[in-house]
Amino acid sequence: MLLGKLYWMLFIMSKLKNTLILSSLIFLFSCSENKIKSYEQNLETLKLLVDDINNYYESSDSSALDISQYFTSDFTFYSFTAGSPKGVPVSLTEYQDGILSQLKKNGFSLEIGHSIYLPGIDENTYEIDGSVRVYSKATVSRENTVELSAYRTVNFKNGKISGIWEWADYGGAINQIYE
């Protein structure tokens, strides 16, 4: 009789252990699922932005570029040029009007082409955090046409872009354009 009770206790404990493990896994996957959905929504926002920028440069219309709907009010763009290991920060106004619009006004053409998008991760937990990493090819033209590769990490707050960190060889591209 004691052996039978022991068997049933071990059987029940085994089932409880399995239930606990299964519940934990479901919880973990549901948390990851939310982060994946956040990444996918943010990715769609970023792709719409890229389409709008490409359409702006393709258009002969000289009206100002307005992409502010994609960004938070405290957005910062960081570019990493020689001598700036922490990046050169610029505001949304400087990014939109001072960089993107000025390029077109000065006769440059820009096309963001083939891109590889990957989910970004939290730097402390190493878990997907909804940010987007991008490896892309850009084509810049004026006197000459230059293709360059860039890497970006794009952070979001409430579905809007809050920060972009971009690494590309801007100096090399400018040198080749004017050769």
What are the domain boundaries of the chain? 36-177
Please tell us whether the domain made up of 36-177 is placed in CATH 3.10.450.50: yes
What pLDDT was estimated at residue 118? 96
| 147 burial via Cβ count (<10 Å: 0-12, 13-18, 19+) | middle
Backbone angles phi, psi at 67, to 5 degrees: -120, 20
Q: Give yes or no for residue 31 having a pLDDT over 70.
A: no
pLDDT, tens digit, 9 for 90 and up, residues 46-95: 999 999 999 999 988 877 789 999 999 999 999 988 888 888 999 999 99
pTM (two decimals): 0.78
Q: Which residue has the tokens 């948390």?
A: 31
**Pair 139, 146: CB distance under 8 Å:** yes
Length of the chain: 179
**Pair 50, 115: CB distance under 8 Å:** yes
